[in-house]
Structure 1
Amino acid sequence: MRLSLPKIPTAPFCPSEVQGTVIIPSKANSWQKFLVFAGPGLLISVGYMDPGNWATDIEGGSKFGYSLLSIIFISNAIAILLQALCVRLGMVTGLDLAQACRLKFSLSVNILLWILAEIAIIACDLAEILGSALALNLLFHLPLIWGVFVTGLDLVVVLWLQGKGFRWLEAIVLGLISTIAICFLVEIVFARPDWNAVFQGYLPQPSVLGNSEQLYLAVSILGATVMPHNLYLHSAIVQTRKWQEALPDVKSALHYATLDSTIALIGALFINSAILIVAAATFHFSGNQQVAEIQDAYQLLTPLLGSGLASFLFGLALLASGQSSTFTGTIAGQVVMEGFLNLMIPCWLRRLITRCLAIAPAVIGLSILGEQGVGKLLVFSQVVLSLQLPFAIVPLVLFTGSSQIMGKFANPFWIKGLAWLIAGLIIVVNIWLLAKLLT
């Protein structure tokens, strides 16, 4: 039995308005049905390749070569499972994660969860602002402070997209992700890594546990991989597909939607791996193992690889990374506000509020720390995200494992056990990472 919440007024380009707007043709073959289902996974995958991930991947590759590729692989495997649970919750119950929390928890608990989710979205937006501003600085020598304000102009793009439909947004994000992928494909060609060593890097390395600095970076990669707002977002946007007339049952719809997110996250695995591989091949094996900042990597790529195109592509990919995450943050904010508070505001106003709240700490931080403080601010944003993550994962695992909520689609025993194990691991990892960063 599907759970339901009272209907509320809608606002332009917001989750409740676009629900069921992408129709699956009833006479389409399997390949055509998959293509129509494809899209939500792309929007989710951008959170796994944002500027915060760049910082850890570059430092990990420059300091320790290919050995942390295994951590990227494990982190992505965890993300695939958690996002599959989001698909299951959204398609079976017709509720997103925030709505399910409002239905099952008390008002005080929901207010707390809403505040934490909003803080996480602002922290994620902070990383996107810094990444985009840094890219503008590297490519066009625009001062970082000015770059921070220029990133606010993406509000114009959000307004333009309002009348275009959800598939337009997915198409633009696909274009940005493709830009990142192509740039790093060329970077790998320039870097000429040792592919035998690369493949060995995907095997678990005992040395990671024996080196405290390497372990710290490994935990940072794992702790910053799953974005808390992605869990709310995915459970909502997966409902944009109207499949009831084209597919015989929920199980078939779950198959296509889960396949969409899995393939998209495999793409994110490639991009994160490519960043680390380029850093390892270019810096670690050339004696530049001290590279830890994105801007340092940009400056060294040209002299070490012998091509000015390498640095340009790196900056272009960074700009695409920051901008692609911008659009998903807007929708995630709407999902959280609508789900927890039963409150809707225009999409442009929501974007304006979130962006202003993120620009303020970015400007203050850069004024105090200077341009070399970008890395510290990126780390700070990841700490804030790590604090909120357990408060999104635990309800997700709890709801999808409940037969009262999910019926026959409740997680089987082995998935339930694995999901709780992963939730516990991420909680411990994030607590440990937070303690290390604070000390």
Structure 2
Amino acid sequence: MKGKSLEEVNESVATQNTTSRFRKILAFFGPAYLISVGYMDPGNWATDIAGGSQFGYALIWVLLMSNIMALLLQSLSARLGIVSRLDLAQASRETYPKFVNYILYFLAEIAIAACDLAEVLGMAIGLNLLFDISLVNGVIITVLDTFLLLFLINKGIRKMEAFIIALVAVIGFSFVCEMIFAEPEIPKILGGLVPSLPSDAALYIAIGIIGATVMPHNLYLHSSLVQTRKFDRSPSGIKQAIKYNLIDSTIALNLAFFVNAAILILAAATFYKNGMYHVAEIQDAHQFLEPMLGTKWAPILFAVALIAAGQSSTITGTLAGQIIMEGYINLRIQPWIRRILTRLIAIVPAVIVISIFGEGVTGKLLIFSQVVLSLQLGFAIIPLIHYVSDKTKMEGFHIGFWTKTAAWIIASIIVSLNAKLVFDEIQGWIAASANPIWLWLTVVPLAVGFAVLLLYIVFNPFFSRKQRILNHSPHNLALKWTRQSTYDTKKIAISVDFSEADQAALNHAFALGGKDANYVLIHVVESVGAIVYGAHIVDHETSVDEKLLHDYFEMLSDKGFKVDTKLGFGDPAKVIPKIINENQFDVLVMGTHGHTGFKDLIFGTTVDKVRHKIRIPLFIVKN
């Protein structure tokens, strides 16, 4: 199925009508800018400020190295999505056994929660600095951005991209001004490009910088977003798409590098230069900027940029959360439920810690969240490298020897640094504990278990060449047919979702119309990409749904029924009524899954919403 879909030519209007190379490149621009906001979120601010105030310009090389790592890994992620039409979560699901994928999903969710924690704290701190709102109240207020995200998604991807780009412009403008105010020393900036680690504390900050820069959720997100561009699926078309997405990633990530470097340089030129080596809190940085730089605009621009960074990165974090849930465990829930769950997971620990330890711990929380992201990196990078290195799965577009070598070196560096960090931390806990037996019984076995898991995902693909071709939607084509009677109905619409409910819906529809009626099978692709990008989405699930809808068409046509098909994209409760009202149907037949109450809240109530929006009879068939 996957091989066949790769042979198809899918061109969008934007790429088909472009004549100049510049316009062709612009047609592919977009996904990397949504990715880049994750590289300048409040977690980056905390690690950059801590690194600049403690070690001056010495860790600029870590930022540069992280940016190079990020560029290579994001290009691999884009390649995965473009060639295989799978996102990283789906690719992992096809590579490893089910129980391993459940663990990887759990770790990915922890990374999403850690990322969201940084965004929550950043937004709350920005509100506190600008409007003097307490941090606890600011954290609670961040729930409201859930509704902003849903509003933007409903308005379409173009408006969302415009919103994100506007926020990135605010951040960039703010730090251009900050650099003018701070007057950094250029020779010392260049000296900071030479690799060095002044102390063990610098290693902790460096790992935090890597985790904040090379963010694991961005690898899942990028592999999904690149599938929104329709292009020629021929070898030359795929090669061109890979090339233009690399250009897109290079520009976007270098802009993110400028922002991160500006924050570290600002801290070095302002705090380290004046002997203030322990400014790790964003609030302290904001407080000292005005007296040290001599302008009231410095702290204002700082706070505005912080809010912009938190708000922009929260959108990409939410999309990544939906992608990993759908990809790893094949579970799709309502977007607003997913958003609130993600946000609550971040808010609850933030409120508890701030309430107990005070507002002075936010800097430590932010750096800790980025270290958690870095610890998760290996579990995302290694499956990615394995998949894009596979000649069979990538169908000739696998990475070459030198790219593969560079990728494994990056993975080795990240995993080695994390291993040293974990070992040092556990060793310190055991030495400081009055009763270390509990650590030996809990923390040590857990660390060993994750080490074993990491080794498993490294070596398993080398020995297990069995390819798992999975259907990433809950589809089932094993239908049993019952006897049909006739009814004077000319054109019948049937909503199908490739589940067991279809069997009852189709049989009842045929009982209404027999073989004299005309039938139209309606299916709606409701993945997160389809909700955001609509008919422009080109991903694995869309390909699967098109194939299965065609299988239905052939199966029913062979049985003598007059059948047509319609594929929609987005929220079924909106798309199905639109299709029905735009065509001349006599009746709509829909099957139900039989869930009520809490399941309605989680999975949605399509039938109930559809019946209020259509102008023809609705035949509801309970499965």
TM-score, structure 2 normalization: 0.65
1:197 matched residue in structure 2: 188
2:572 matched residue in structure 1: none
1:44 matched residue in structure 2: 35
Deviation at 1:387, TM superposition (A): 2.7
Aligned letter for 2:357? L
1:397 matched residue in structure 2: 385
User: Once the two structures are superposed, what CA deviation does each residue of 1:121-172 show, in whole Å capped at 9, x if it has no partner?
Assistant: 1111011001110111111100001000111101111221122222222211
Cα distance between partner residues in 1 of 2:140 and 2:13: 38
User: Once the two structures are superposed, what CA deviation does each residue of 1:54-101 show, in whole Å capped at 9, x if it has no partner?
Assistant: 111112111222121111101100000000000110000111111111
Cα distance between partner residues in 1 of 2:417 and 2:94: 30
Range moving further from structure 2, 336-345 or 320-329: 336-345
Deviation at 1:382, TM superposition (A): 2.0
Match of 1:251 among 239, 250, 255: 239
User: Once the two structures are superposed, what CA deviation does each residue of 1:354-394 show, in whole Å capped at 9, x if it has no partner?
Assistant: 11121111111111111001112213312322232111111
Q: 2:297 matched to 1:309?
A: yes
What is the DSSP-based 3-state SS (H/G/I as helix, E as strand, rest coil) of the residue aligned with 1:242?
coil
What is the DSSP-based 3-state SS (H/G/I as helix, E as strand, rest coil) of the residue aligned with 1:409?
coil
TM-score, structure 1 normalization: 0.92
Match of 1:24 among 1, 4, 14: 14
Cα distance between partner residues in 2 of 1:39 and 1:58: 29
- C-alpha change, 1:235 and 1:58, in structure 2 (3 Å) is same
2:473 matched residue in structure 1: none
Cα distance between partner residues in 2 of 1:23 and 1:364: 51
- Unaligned stretches of 5+ residues in structure 1: 6-19
Q: 2:129 matched to 1:138?
A: yes
- C-alpha change, 1:274 and 1:4, in structure 2 (3 Å) is farther
User: Once the two structures are superposed, what CA deviation does each residue of 1:256-314 show, in whole Å capped at 9, x if it has no partner?
Assistant: 11111111100011000000111111111122222121111100000001101100001
What is the DSSP-based 3-state SS (H/G/I as helix, E as strand, rest coil) of the residue aligned with 1:162?
helix
- C-alpha change, 1:91 and 1:221, in structure 2 (3 Å) is same
Matches within 5 A, 1:12-411: 23-28=13-18, 29-202=20-193, 204-205=194-195, 208-209=196-197, 211-244=199-232, 248-411=236-399
Is the 8 Å Cα contact of residues 184 and 275 (structure 1) preserved in structure 2? Answer: yes
Deviation at 1:116, TM superposition (A): 1.1
Deviation at 1:23, TM superposition (A): 4.8
- Unaligned stretches of 5+ residues in structure 2: 429-623
Deviation at 1:210, TM superposition (A): 5.1
User: Once the two structures are superposed, what CA deviation does each residue of 1:310-341 show, in whole Å capped at 9, x if it has no partner?
Assistant: 00001111111111111001110111111112
Aligned letter for 1:26? Q
Cα distance between partner residues in 2 of 1:21 and 1:401: 27
Cα distance between partner residues in 2 of 1:424 and 1:399: 17
- C-alpha change, 1:86 and 1:158, in structure 2 (3 Å) is same
Is the 8 Å Cα contact of residues 120 and 385 (structure 1) preserved in structure 2? Answer: yes
Q: Could you say which structure has the larger radius of gyration?
A: 2
Aligned letter for 1:65? G
Aligned letter for 2:201? E
Aligned letter for 2:294? G
User: Once the two structures are superposed, what CA deviation does each residue of 1:163-203 show, in whole Å capped at 9, x if it has no partner?
Assistant: 2222222211111111111100000000011223223322x
Aligned letter for 1:422? I
Is the 8 Å Cα contact of residues 32 and 248 (structure 2) preserved in structure 1? Answer: yes
Cα distance between partner residues in 1 of 2:142 and 2:373: 21
Q: Which has the higher contact order (CA 8 A, sep 6+)?
A: 1
Cα distance between partner residues in 1 of 2:415 and 2:57: 26
Is the 8 Å Cα contact of residues 11 and 231 (structure 2) preserved in structure 1? Answer: no
Aligned letter for 1:345? I
What is the DSSP-based 3-state SS (H/G/I as helix, E as strand, rest coil) of the residue aligned with 2:277?
coil
Is the 8 Å Cα contact of residues 145 and 366 (structure 1) preserved in structure 2? Answer: yes
- C-alpha change, 1:364 and 1:403, in structure 2 (3 Å) is same
Is the 8 Å Cα contact of residues 159 and 348 (structure 1) preserved in structure 2? Answer: yes
2:615 matched residue in structure 1: none
What is the DSSP-based 3-state SS (H/G/I as helix, E as strand, rest coil) of the residue aligned with 1:193?
coil
Is the 8 Å Cα contact of residues 52 and 268 (structure 2) preserved in structure 1? Answer: yes
Aligned letter for 2:333? I
What is the DSSP-based 3-state SS (H/G/I as helix, E as strand, rest coil) of the residue aligned with 1:95?
coil
1:16 matched residue in structure 2: none
Cα distance between partner residues in 1 of 2:53 and 2:11: 46
What is the DSSP-based 3-state SS (H/G/I as helix, E as strand, rest coil) of the residue aligned with 2:411?
helix
Cα distance between partner residues in 2 of 1:425 and 1:335: 27
What is the DSSP-based 3-state SS (H/G/I as helix, E as strand, rest coil) of the residue aligned with 2:15?
coil
- C-alpha change, 1:230 and 1:3, in structure 2 (3 Å) is farther
Q: Larger helix proportion, structure 1 or 2?
A: 1
- C-alpha change, 1:436 and 1:310, in structure 2 (3 Å) is farther
Aligned letter for 1:115? F
User: Once the two structures are superposed, what CA deviation does each residue of 1:15-61 show, in whole Å capped at 9, x if it has no partner?
Assistant: xxxxx897533121221222221111111111211111111111211
- C-alpha change, 1:261 and 1:149, in structure 2 (3 Å) is same
Range moving further from structure 2, 185-194 or 63-72: 63-72
Cα distance between partner residues in 2 of 1:367 and 1:147: 13
Deviation at 1:436, TM superposition (A): 4.2
What is the DSSP-based 3-state SS (H/G/I as helix, E as strand, rest coil) of the residue aligned with 2:273?
helix
Is the 8 Å Cα contact of residues 26 and 246 (structure 1) preserved in structure 2? Answer: no
Is the 8 Å Cα contact of residues 57 and 221 (structure 1) preserved in structure 2? Answer: yes
Deviation at 1:412, TM superposition (A): 0.7
2:567 matched residue in structure 1: none
Cα distance between partner residues in 2 of 1:22 and 1:144: 46
Is the 8 Å Cα contact of residues 4 and 95 (structure 1) preserved in structure 2? Answer: no
Cα distance between partner residues in 1 of 2:171 and 2:379: 31
Cα distance between partner residues in 2 of 1:152 and 1:35: 35
Is the 8 Å Cα contact of residues 21 and 240 (structure 1) preserved in structure 2? Answer: no
Is the 8 Å Cα contact of residues 24 and 241 (structure 1) preserved in structure 2? Answer: no
Matches within 5 A, 1:6-17: none
Aligned letter for 2:355? S
